[in-house]
Amino acid sequence: MTPELSVVVPVYNEEESLPELFRRVLPVLESLSRSYELILVDDGSRDRSLALSLKFREKREDRVKVVELNGNFGQHMAIIAGFSISRGKMVITMDADLQNPPEEIPRIVAAMERGHDVVGTIRKFRQDPLFRKAASKIVNAVTNRITGLRLHDYGCMLRGYDRRIVDLILQCRETTTFIPALGQKFAVNPVEITVRHSERAKGESKYGLFRLIRLNFDLMTGFSIAPLQAVTVTGMTVAVMSLLFTAFLILRRIVLGPEAEGLFTLMAINFFLMGVTMISVGIGGEYIGRVYQEVRQRPRYVVRQVYQEEEEL
């Protein structure tokens, strides 16, 4: 029997949030009066998350599946692992930390029922640290500009995708990915709705500064090569300007004679251009690093065990 709805939840060290999630999510899914499956993907948690998930599964073995990954592969890979065993006609992704209330799920289902193949979400009154909200604003704007996608909130992971979109996402074999952007890329009739958002009540964010930077570069490098073009264009502009400046200095030397002032101005310009050079090397490196990851061809994620009903294996 194929369920109508699959809900995929990546879980990484969320032992504190899971009890409340489990308490709230099943009533919501039951209220939809449709067949469903809940897929919990344990992304190599080192706390009791897996044990709690397996315990919870005992309550509804017919509905709850648990995927145990063989290590920490990141939120997006955990979702891909969940997608690969999901069978619902609609698939909804959701975080385990309850920042987006599971009570919003029916609204996503309703939007999909109206014929939308991808339902995106925008966090209303987002409750996150100020610096994250500011960084997201910049990333959203830059990403929309360089990728040609039109999304208002790339980071909100409570989203719905229909089966066709999920299968397309699964066809992409890339090791670094960003699921909302990928879904949007394949969508024919997408829509965005606003959803509530709360502060993380338990546990802490799994994204430190460096992980956030990496994730956002996954998004920008994965969907556009405009940053590389920006480097080339900057380089060309600087070269033309230097050429004009050199011509000016030669003329000045002929007319007025040699000059020696302006040493510190020159150093300031030099440092600035060194900065630009380093950023450019870095941007190139972001792509090269990802190409390197691809060519090694290691598995994108490794499943240790899937806990689900016998007949489905």
Q: Which residues bind Mg ion (CB under 5 A)?
A: 97, 99
96 binds, among Mg ion, ligand UDP, none (CB under 5 to 8 A by kind): ligand UDP
Q: What is the dihedral of CA 230, 232, 236, 238, to 10 degrees?
A: 60
Identity of the amino acid at 112: M
Output the smallest distance, CB 75 to ligand UDP, in A: 4
Determine if 307 is a binding residue for ligand UDP (CB under 6 A): no
183 binds, among Mg ion, ligand UDP, none (CB under 5 to 8 A by kind): none
Output the smallest distance, CB 226 to ligand UDP, in A: 25
Using CB under 6 A, which residues numbered 162 to 221 contact ligand UDP? 205-207
Q: Strand order of the sheet with strand 90-93?
A: 191-195, 118-123, 159-162, 90-93, 5-11, 36-42, 64-69, 303-307
Kind and range of the H or E run holding 90: strand 90-93
98 binds, among Mg ion, ligand UDP, none (CB under 5 to 8 A by kind): none
Q: What are the phi and psi torsion angles at 29 (to 5°)? A: -65, -35
Is beta strand 118-123 parallel, antiparallel or unpaired with respect to 159-162? antiparallel
Output the smallest distance, CB 29 to ligand UDP, in A: 17
Q: How many other CB atoms are there within 10 angstroms of residue 93's CB atom?
A: 28
Determine if 99 is a binding residue for ligand UDP (CB under 6 A): yes
- Which residue has tokens 């987002």? 126
Output the smallest distance, CB 125 to Mg ion, in A: 15
75 binds, among ligand UDP, Mg ion, none (CB under 5 to 8 A by kind): ligand UDP
Output the smallest distance, CB 185 to ligand UDP, in A: 21
**CA nearest to 112, candidates 190, 25, 186, 30:** 190
Q: Reduced to 3 states, what is the DSSP secondary structure of residue 245?
A: helix
Compare residues 116 and 123 and give the one whose CB is closer to ligand UDP.
123
Compare residues 133 and 164 and give the one whose CB is closer to ligand UDP.
133
Handedness of CA 13, 15, 19, 20 (dihedral sign): negative
Output the smallest distance, CB 6 to Mg ion, in A: 21
Using CB under 6 A, which residues numbered 51 to 90 contact ligand UDP? 72, 74-75, 78
Which residues of this protein are in contact with ligand UDP, per CB under 6 A?
10-12, 14, 43, 72, 74-75, 78, 95-97, 99, 205-207
